[in-house]
Amino acid sequence: MPAPNAAAMEFLLTRRSRPAKTLTGPAPDHEALMPILSAGARTPDHGKLEPWRFIVLEGTALTRLAALVEARGVVLALETDKIDKMYRQFADADLAVAVISAPKPSDKVPEIEQVLSAGAVCLSMLNAALASGWGANWLTGWAAHDCVFLRDGLGLSETESIAGFIHIGTETNAPPERPRPDVGAITEWVGA
């Protein structure tokens, strides 16, 4: 019989992301952020390829990215509210970690497994931030898919992409619980 970790299970069954727009400072400093990054790096990684990396965004970097979002939104002729929403994601943040999906050439590990590993990094990091007492949210948005923003704003190569921006800060308002999936309705049991 396994030895359950009741506290960890309770956390996972009740965890709740915090909307990034409700987060404020202070954000974790470098020392407080390292265990969160370390938890993300413990994600399953078939072949030990480390097909992801982190860019910690703070201060003027966030201001610079907000300005780039605004400029790119105009060039792309996006609706004003769509530009503003993405702009606010950076302009209002105190700290965000860009999780970069960086697949490596491999005969043994398909690229999709490496991309999924980067997504798992995002969830691990999000849960680690929440477990550490911070408010946190995993976001993307249109800029995460704009090759010019990725290249000019974050220095990504053509083979890299954004798995997510993990916003971390001090929680100001706990959101109400939202409806969750009916696990019975989405689960199929196959015994033979």
CATH number at residue 96: 3.40.109.10
**Beta strands 135-139; 161-171: pairing state:** antiparallel
Tell me if 126 is assigned to some domain.
Answer: yes
Q: Where are the beta strands (DSSP E) in the chain?
A: 23-24, 52-58, 95-101, 135-139, 161-171
List, for residues 28-80, the tens digit of each pLDDT value: 999 999 999 999 999 999 899 999 999 999 999 999 999 999 999 999 999 99
Tell me if 65 is assigned to some domain.
Answer: yes
Tell me if 99 is assigned to some domain.
Answer: yes
| pLDDT value of residue 173 | 79
List, for residues 99-122, the tens digit of each pLDDT value: 999 999 999 999 999 999 999 999
Q: Judge whether 131 and 137 are in contact, CB under 8 Å.
A: no
Tell me if 98 is assigned to some domain.
Answer: yes
Tell me if 10 is assigned to some domain.
Answer: no
**Owning domain of residue 39:** 28-172
Report the C-alpha gap between 160 and 50 in whole angstroms: 13
Report the C-alpha gap between 161 and 99 in whole angstroms: 9
What rounded mean pLDDT belongs to the chain?
96
- Give Cα separations from 119 to 27, 45, 150, 182 (angstroms): 23, 11, 17, 23
Tell me if 40 is assigned to some domain.
Answer: yes
**How many structural domains compose the chain?**
1
Residues 6+ apart with CB under 8 A from 14: none
Tell me if 9 is assigned to some domain.
Answer: no
List, for residues 131-153, the tens digit of each pLDDT value: 999 999 999 999 999 999 999 99
pTM, two decimal places: 0.94
Q: Judge whether 128 and 41 are in contact, CB under 8 Å.
A: no
Tell me if 177 is assigned to some domain.
Answer: no
Report the C-alpha gap between 143 and 67 in whole angstroms: 12
Q: Judge whether 36 and 129 are in contact, CB under 8 Å.
A: yes
